[in-house]
Structure 1
Amino acid sequence: MHNKKELPAERREELLAILKNRFEKNMQRHNDIEWLDVQAKLEVNTDKLWTLDEMELTGGEPDVIKYDQQTGEYHFVDCSTESPKGRRSLCYDRDALNSRKEYKPADSAIDMAAAMGIEMLTEEQYRELQSIGKFDTKTSSWVKTSDAIRKLGGAIFCDRRYDTVFTYHNGAESYYAARGFRGLLKV
């Protein structure tokens, strides 16, 4: 993932206020979860605040969408209406980036997610997110791709059109201004 990175105290407080406000405005995403429990978990896992700040700074608008009873972890996911602006125009992974001879994008989705300390959503997680709101109605998001598809040069992405969630394929080296990726952070 990444080395432990700490936010300055002032930014930590600012970020917690942003997250609390978003949490309270979107209770339909997490009816059975209390903010004080989430905040307590964040305060003992301050390295996760650095990652949440990265999600916020790249336009992800992270919010809690799930509490995993088995692991005791809260799941923060990018809940921006469209694919995060600061994470678009990326090919799928490092191999795809290296395969481009010209017009290379700045980065790959897999590498950027790793640098931020988040996991890219799987197709199943993406569909779970779509069950609590309408996301990517004008954009699309890369999702984790199976090794079998990836070995053949492809990658998959999802979006929502006609009030339906679709999964598509593309060459992993492709990139578009309207395609980014969404991430998951477990705290």
Structure 2
Amino acid sequence: MNQEELITALEDRFIKNKNRHEQLTWQEIKEKLIAQPDKIAILFKMEASGGEPDILGNDFIFVDCSPETPIGRRSICYDRLALDSRKKNKPANDAITMAKDMGIELLTETEYATLQSYGEFDTKTSSWIKTPDDIRNLGGALFCDCRYGRVFTYHNGADSYYSARGFRGKLIL
């Protein structure tokens, strides 16, 4: 996929899901994108890993809007400390490092709930979310999903990983 194809895919998604950003126009978004080629490179990474980024709300923030947690970011533990602490059966990577390498941030619990207000996401998967330091310092990490029409926030050891758990990210333009 080249830059023109990515911008076309983003525009198509933007138009198809106008309810996610009712007060913005594609022209506004495109102008901001063209002025920030580094952001386009990040959106390439979000798209390539299955994130289906789209503007959420009216604050020029791209969020992974794939129906399930992005397939290219699953089977990972929470952070590098958790990954390094595993003695066997280590996953290939961790959410915090992957997000940083991509140039995005994990969603917070509030941002995840906001995403869910635009539809049901993660009905078969789950996504790590930014975990408060007091929880992480005790070895835990938080993740969310949507089941039975409701958003749930759970905890797990930060070193755990499952094939259906990954992470969603955001990019502020």
Q: TM-score normalized by structure 2?
A: 0.98
Distance in 2 between residues matched to 1:67 and 1:166, nearest whole Å:
25
Aligned pairs for 1:82-121 within 5 A: 82-121=68-107
Q: Which runs of 5+ in 2 are unaligned?
A: none
Q: Indicate the residue corresponding to 1:3 in structure 2.
A: none
Whether the 8 Å CA contact 2:22–2:58 is kept in 1: the answer is: no
Deviation per CA, 1:67-96, whole angstroms, max 9, x where unpaired? 33xxxxx10000000000000000000000
Distance in 1 between residues matched to 2:124 and 2:166, nearest whole Å:
12
Distance in 2 between residues matched to 1:29 and 1:67, nearest whole Å:
8
| Match among 40, 48, 51 for residue 60 of structure 1 | 51
% identical aligned pairs = 60
What is the Cα deviation at residue 151 of structure 1? 0.7
| Match among 1, 4, 9 for residue 13 of structure 1 | 4
Deviation per CA, 1:136-172, whole angstroms, max 9, x where unpaired? 0000000000110001100000000010000000000
The reply on whether 1:41 has 2:38 as its aligned counterpart is no
| Match among 41, 44, 64 for residue 50 of structure 1 | 41
Distance in 2 between residues matched to 1:133 and 1:33, nearest whole Å:
19
Q: CA RMSD in A?
A: 0.8
What is the Cα deviation at residue 66 of structure 1? 2.1
Distance in 2 between residues matched to 1:85 and 1:99, nearest whole Å:
25
Distance in 2 between residues matched to 1:44 and 1:12, nearest whole Å:
13
Whether the 8 Å CA contact 1:23–1:35 is kept in 2: the answer is: yes
What is the Cα deviation at residue 105 of structure 1? 0.5
Distance in 1 between residues matched to 2:42 and 2:57, nearest whole Å:
18
Distance in 1 between residues matched to 2:58 and 2:33, nearest whole Å:
14
**Structure 1: which 4+ aligned runs deviate by more than 4 Å?**
none
Q: Indicate the residue corresponding to 2:116 in structure 1.
A: 130
Deviation per CA, 1:39-73, whole angstroms, max 9, x where unpaired? 000000011001001000000000001233xxxxx
Q: Indicate the residue corresponding to 2:127 in structure 1.
A: 141
Structure 2 counterpart of 1:116, one-letter code: M
Q: TM-score normalized by structure 1?
A: 0.91
Q: Indicate the residue corresponding to 1:27 in structure 2.
A: 18
Q: Which runs of 5+ in 1 are unaligned?
A: 1-9, 69-73
